[in-house]
């Protein structure tokens, strides 16, 4: 194999990213140039088949449904009621609303499937209350970033659906494999907030922690019940074997419309806006997937994947050393690629290498998502940092410094996941 076209395509990819080109085109153009250099322009005849094959995947049909579900919940006002109920439930926990931010993001993650949607939704409802009560500004921003990073890990996860479409793994097993890691990471972030609350001045004095009037038990149930029902419909139907992820997402969308109309403020205009925004978001996601398949096609017909696998094998890395090298690679990629770009650019190339090392693909799916989430907190392309900065009008320095401690919490967590794979594999092993 001639390595020159591969090197030139990678240089072109980096150049297009630096120039500011959108990720789908920055991936697709080098892929097509690479195929043209290695196989001539005859490859154009097969683009139709590749394009159809990339979109004709049943697994991908769950993506627009989960995006629509998050949009309906966001516009119905259910998120605000959930936050109010959690603030009442967790009011005695050290850290106060900082803990509500993290737990609220974790619960919203079980509906949205997206870290960006999770961070945006909880930030919008929490910032006014955090400011009013006088919480430490950087710590408030950091807790929102840490909670938002749970969005792709706690199921359902759009990133995991995309990963499953590339590796032909079970979406249901990926979802259930991420339950324990998601809860553990949430608890680790909460534990850090507790330690800061007890040793610093990140929360207001006790006499300033007035908050809204205390809710009655009935009001508390009414605030938390709608989200509980949606989570039960979505994840309960998957884990109980009643419905696969796509059908479960469809059921949840119907339930969200009904619940949003009864318990929330969902109207016809809100629903129309949710549908329009879903089309825009999903169009962007699927365009990236299409670009990734074009690049993957280039890698497959040229044999680059096998060459890379052979090269990595020649380095003599052991199993653990190989995974540590991958972790370092993803931490670097996270500084200039978004989460979707990281997954679709690397998984097709790494797939034969993972098989050669005997890496469990279910475990690696969880490992990959955590690595991607760390990238979302890494400047200059940390999307969660951008979302929080844009919604709060905070300085980039404040957002980054607030998120930095939680960045290290996530690094510690992924190292634990590396040496304790049972954290992700035990639940799937119990599935029938």
Query: What pLDDT score was predicted for residue 356?
Result: 84
Mean pLDDT over 151-176 rounds to 87
Distances (CA, A) of 252 to 76, 255, 257, 271: 14, 5, 9, 15
Res. 210: pLDDT tops 60: no
Q: Is residue 43 part of a domain?
A: no
pLDDT in tens, 336-394: 666 777 787 788 778 888 888 889 999 999 999 998 888 778 776 677 887 788 778 88
pLDDT at residue 207, rounded to an integer? 39
Confidence (pLDDT) at 43: 61
Q: What is the DSSP string of 190-216?
A: HHHHHHHHHHSS-S--GGG---SPPPP
pLDDT, position 208: 44
With a cut of 80, say whether residue 422 has pLDDT above it. Answer: yes
pLDDT at 188: 95
For residue 200, what are the contacts with CB-CB under 8 A and spacing of at least 6?
A: 136
- Residue 90: phi and psi, rounded to 5, are -105, 15
Task: Provide the token pair at 123.
Answer: 């930030």
The pLDDT of residue 370 is 92
pLDDT score for 332: 76
pTM, 2 dp: 0.76
Confirm whether 42 is domain-assigned.
no
Q: pLDDT value at position 414?
A: 93
Q: Does 212 score more than 60 pLDDT? A: no
In a domain, 52, yes or no: no
Going by C-alpha positions, the residue among 370, 288, 293, 296 that lies closest to residue 334 is 370
Give dist(CA 93, CA 191) in Å, integer.
Answer: 11
Output the six-digit token pair for 193.
């907030």
User: Encoding tokens for residue 282?
Assistant: 């999903």
As a whole number of angstroms, the distance between CA 307 and CA 117 comes to 38
Write the pLDDT tens digit of every residue in 283-340.
877 777 777 667 766 666 666 556 665 666 677 788 888 888 888 888 777 776 667 7
Mean pLDDT of 403-427: 92
Task: Look at the chain and report how many structural domains it folds into.
Answer: 1
Q: pLDDT by residue (tens digit) across 170-179?
A: 888 999 999 9
Q: Does residue 46 fall inside a structural domain?
A: no
The pLDDT of residue 343 is 82
**Average pLDDT of the residues of the chain:** 81
| Mean pLDDT computed over 396-416 | 91
pLDDT, mean of residues 253-257: 90
Q: Is 50 a domain residue?
A: no
In this prediction, residue 107 carries a pLDDT of 86
**Res. 123 pLDDT band, cuts 50 70 90:** confident
Per-residue model confidence (pLDDT) at position 426: 92
51 occurs within a structural domain: no
At 369 the pLDDT is: 92
Please state, in angstroms and rounded to a whole number, the distance separating the CA atoms of residues 345 and 338. Answer: 11
Range of the domain at 178: 3-34+57-429
Residue 407 has pLDDT above 60, yes or no: yes
Residue 47 lies inside a defined structural domain of this protein: no
Task: Please tell me whether the peptide bond between 156 and the residue prior to it is cis, using omega within 30 degrees of 0.
Answer: yes
Give the CA distances from residue 372 to residues 149, 340, 364, in Å, rounded to whole numbers and listed in that order: 9, 8, 12
Give the sign of the dihedral formed by CA 7, CA 10, CA 12, CA 15: negative
- Tell whether 342 is covered by a domain: yes
Chain position carrying tokens 């959930």: 82
Give pLDDT, residue 206.
47
Supply the DSSP string of 37-84, one letter for each residue: HHH-GGGGGGHHHHHHHHH--GGGGHHHHHHHHHHHHHHHTHHHHHHH
d(CA 251, CA 16): 41
Specify whether the CB–CB gap between 140 and 130 falls below 8 A.
yes
pLDDT the model gives residue 381: 60
The per-residue pLDDT for range 39-81, each reduced to its tens digit, is: 666 666 666 666 666 666 666 777 788 888 878 887 888 877 8
pLDDT band at 209 (very low <50, low <70, confident <90, very high): very low
User: Taking the CB of residue 157, how many other CB atoms lie within 10 A of it?
Assistant: 30
pLDDT tens digit string along 79-111?
A: 778 888 888 888 778 888 889 999 988 888 887
Is 181:370 a contact under the CB 8 Å cutoff? Answer: yes
Would you state the pLDDT for residue 84? 83
């Amino acid at each position: 194999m001639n390595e020159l076209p591969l090197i030139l395509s990678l240089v072109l990819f980096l150049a297009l990213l630096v120039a500011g080109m959108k990720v789908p085109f920055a991936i697709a153009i080098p892929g097509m140039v690479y195929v043209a250099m290695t196989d001539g322009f005859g490859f154009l005849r097969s683009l139709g088949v590749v394009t159809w094959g990339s979109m004709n995947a049943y697994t991908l049909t769950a993506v627009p449904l989960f995006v629509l579900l998050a949009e309906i919940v966001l516009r119905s006002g259910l998120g605000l009621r959930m936050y109010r109920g959690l603030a009442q439930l967790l009011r005695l926990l050290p850290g106060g609303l900082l803990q509500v931010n993290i737990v609220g993001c974790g619960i919203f993650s079980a509906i949205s499937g997206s870290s960006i949607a999770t961070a945006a939704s909880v930030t919008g409802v929490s910032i006014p209350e955090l400011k009013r009560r006088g919480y430490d500004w950087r710590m408030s921003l950091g807790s929102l970033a840490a909670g938002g990073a749970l969005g792709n890990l706690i199921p359902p996860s759009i990133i995991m659906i995309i990963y499953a479409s590339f590796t032909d793994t079970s979406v249901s097993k990926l979802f259930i494999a991420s339950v324990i890691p998601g809860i553990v990471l949430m608890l680790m972030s909460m534990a850090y907030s507790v330690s800061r609350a007890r040793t610093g001045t990140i929360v207001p004095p006790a006499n300033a922690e007035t908050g809204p009037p205390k809710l009655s038990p009935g009001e508390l149930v009414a605030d938390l019940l709608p989200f509980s029902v949606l989570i039960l419909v979505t994840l309960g139907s998957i884990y109980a074997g009643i419905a696969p992820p796509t059908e479960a997402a469809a059921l949840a969308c119907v339930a969200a419309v009904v619940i949003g109309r009864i318990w929330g403020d969902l109207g016809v205009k809100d629903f129309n806006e949710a549908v329009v925004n879903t089309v825009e978001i999903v169009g962007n996601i699927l365009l990236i997937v299409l670009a990734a398949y074009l690049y993957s096609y280039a890698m497959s017909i040229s044999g680059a994947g096998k060459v890379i696998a052979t090269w990595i094998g020649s380095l003599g890395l052991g199993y653990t050393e190989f995974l540590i090298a991958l972790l370092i690679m993803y931490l670097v990629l996270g500084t200039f690629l978004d989460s979707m770009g990281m997954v679709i650019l690397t998984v097709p190339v790494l797939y034969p290498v993972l098989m050669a090392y005997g890496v469990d693909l279910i475990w690696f799916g969880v490992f990959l998502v955590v690595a991607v989430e760390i990238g979302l907190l890494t400047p200059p392309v940390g999307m969660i940092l951008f979302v929080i900065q844009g919604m709060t009008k905070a300085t980039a320095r404040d957002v980054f410094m607030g998120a930095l401690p939680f960045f290290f919490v996530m690094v510690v967590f992924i190292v634990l996941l590396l040496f304790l794979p049972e954290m992700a594999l035990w639940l799937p092993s119990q599935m029938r």
